[in-house]
Structure 1
């Protein structure tokens, strides 16, 4: 039933998933109604949800590119069902904005096969990655994907290597101008600090999300390997990018100042892509139906546990 309903990309599918996403988001919001509260306290949750919606929509755009060519909504279904596992991020509106801009950059990355406009897309990719990094400085590491895209998709012109640097300078100038005008300093321009911290303080909230990601990894890894073997050489590049995103997501989860479950959000996205590839390509309907039903039950059940 689930495979049939989400097999095609229809407006009703997105409406159902957006409503579920909104319910999950509102369920964990912490808004204190006090006399001292300002309009900004009520605006920030709206801005955070917009960042989450952008991530939702651009994930759907990613799987619709030639890289994956999926005409279903399995990826966004798995995303919505699993995102509740990282519910602390729902109250971190800055992190949600970073995630939204990061997802826009990924959509550009998976659509860079157009060599004619490669320079413009490379600038856009770098630009949105640096914007995301202004909210979460650890995301600067993803600028390496700008240079990987040059190796994978471009004629390897020397001028292309300077485009990410120009994009960085453009964003930094904008951020510094806003900082000086609004705060009279440059405190909005932050830099990453890499540390390793595995102190999870025996937090049982880690068990469910890590178990879910382990399940998606086992499910999607073999599906991705099978897809790589069957695909053409041009398609294999995108699947390798997914594996690289998986590695970078693991790096983001480990090298953080605090070992928090919301830091795994960048590892979750490639797992969603891998799982959706498996669900799309499996020929045994009862297997895909069982997996989607299992994820649905777990996702909905977790809403009552938090």
Structure 2
């Protein structure tokens, strides 16, 4: 019954997603933000809200355009529920912006499946990921997705291997120029430097333990079926599904490397993991198990709110 609401693309689904994301921001500001709620804070949170909401539309576009699901809206609902379960993910503006640009990079990488305008798509993908890196350094790891995609398509065109680096170099040179003009130094524009930390003590609380357990246990379980299901896809579509899987692994590395482990680093994981879980929900044959699986994912965020 619950799954039937989201098993087809409907406008009502995006209304539900809108209010779920809105609730995540409300919970963040009530529970986790100690600063007084001023007009400037309201405007800042409104901007971040719409960036998060637009990111969900970008995810939906990627999934629909590249047939990554069976035309359902599970992925956008799951994404919004992840935000609600871990509202700290919307507490870091730099990561919100970086994740948005990474999604734009995903869009170009996965669209390489069509083998149309390959050079432009490679440049665009590297360009967007490079911009994301300006906001959060470890976003640079997603550049590996471009290399992995070229390997998956066994692309032997040397120009295709060089173009992504020109995209990175373009953003770097523009950033250096802007830094000299506005800051009077070469690297003043760079917000994030390559720091890392392996201190996971911040996750040692009941809400973190519950949501991390759900994300990784459900993700691992769904991932096994996702891998098996890829073999049943048409050969031309398989690289796109593998890209999603590698995106999850890279997001996991970012969580491990993140210098400030405050929960916001999980945002990079939500989009690819939502696609994997959506695919799994779609292939579950037992109606009762599909309902139970999806119901647990819906209930967990609200249970965490009570803690």
TM-score, normalisation: structure 1: 0.89
TM-superposed CA distance for 1:61, in Å, is 1.6
Are residue 261 (structure 1) and residue 272 (structure 2) matched? no
Counterparts of 2:173 and 2:251, CA distance in 1: 28
Counterparts of 1:256 and 1:28, CA distance in 2: 20
TM-superposed CA distance for 1:138, in Å, is 0.7
Q: How does 1:105-254 map to 2 (within 5 A)?
A: 105-153=105-153, 155-185=155-185, 186-189=187-190, 190-200=192-202, 202-254=204-256
SS in 2 for 1:187: coil
TM-superposed CA distance for 1:271, in Å, is 2.3
Contact 2:60 2:76 in 1 (8 A): yes
- Structure 1 alignment gaps of length 5 or more: none
Contact 1:84 1:302 in 2 (8 A): no
Where does residue 300 of structure 2 map in the other structure?
Answer: 298
TM-superposed CA distance for 1:137, in Å, is 0.4
Counterparts of 1:106 and 1:291, CA distance in 2: 27
Counterparts of 2:282 and 2:151, CA distance in 1: 29
Counterparts of 1:226 and 1:162, CA distance in 2: 33
The alpha-carbon distance between structure 1 residues 28 and 251, as it changes in their structure 2 partners (threshold 3 A), is: same
The alpha-carbon distance between structure 1 residues 229 and 113, as it changes in their structure 2 partners (threshold 3 A), is: closer
TM-superposed CA distance for 1:284, in Å, is 2.2
CA deviations over 1:139-185 (Å, ceiling 9, x no partner): 11111112222223474211122211211122123323333333333
Greater relative CO, 1 or 2 (CA 8 Å, sep 6+):
2
Counterparts of 1:259 and 1:22, CA distance in 2: 23
- State the number of aligned residues: 302
Contact 2:203 2:209 in 1 (8 A): no
Counterparts of 1:258 and 1:141, CA distance in 2: 17
Counterparts of 2:189 and 2:93, CA distance in 1: 15
- Structure 2 alignment gaps of length 5 or more: none
Contact 2:84 2:301 in 1 (8 A): yes
The alpha-carbon distance between structure 1 residues 257 and 179, as it changes in their structure 2 partners (threshold 3 A), is: same
Contact 2:96 2:267 in 1 (8 A): no
Counterparts of 2:197 and 2:210, CA distance in 1: 25
SS in 2 for 1:233: coil
Where does residue 287 of structure 2 map in the other structure?
Answer: 285
SS in 2 for 1:200: helix
SS in 2 for 1:113: helix
TM-superposed CA distance for 1:272, in Å, is 1.7
Where does residue 84 of structure 2 map in the other structure?
Answer: 84
TM-score, normalisation: structure 2: 0.89
TM-superposed CA distance for 1:62, in Å, is 2.2
The alpha-carbon distance between structure 1 residues 148 and 179, as it changes in their structure 2 partners (threshold 3 A), is: same
The alpha-carbon distance between structure 1 residues 169 and 73, as it changes in their structure 2 partners (threshold 3 A), is: same
Counterparts of 1:107 and 1:170, CA distance in 2: 20
TM-superposed CA distance for 1:108, in Å, is 1.8
TM-superposed CA distance for 1:291, in Å, is 1.4
Where does residue 98 of structure 2 map in the other structure?
Answer: 98
CA RMSD of aligned residues (A): 2.3
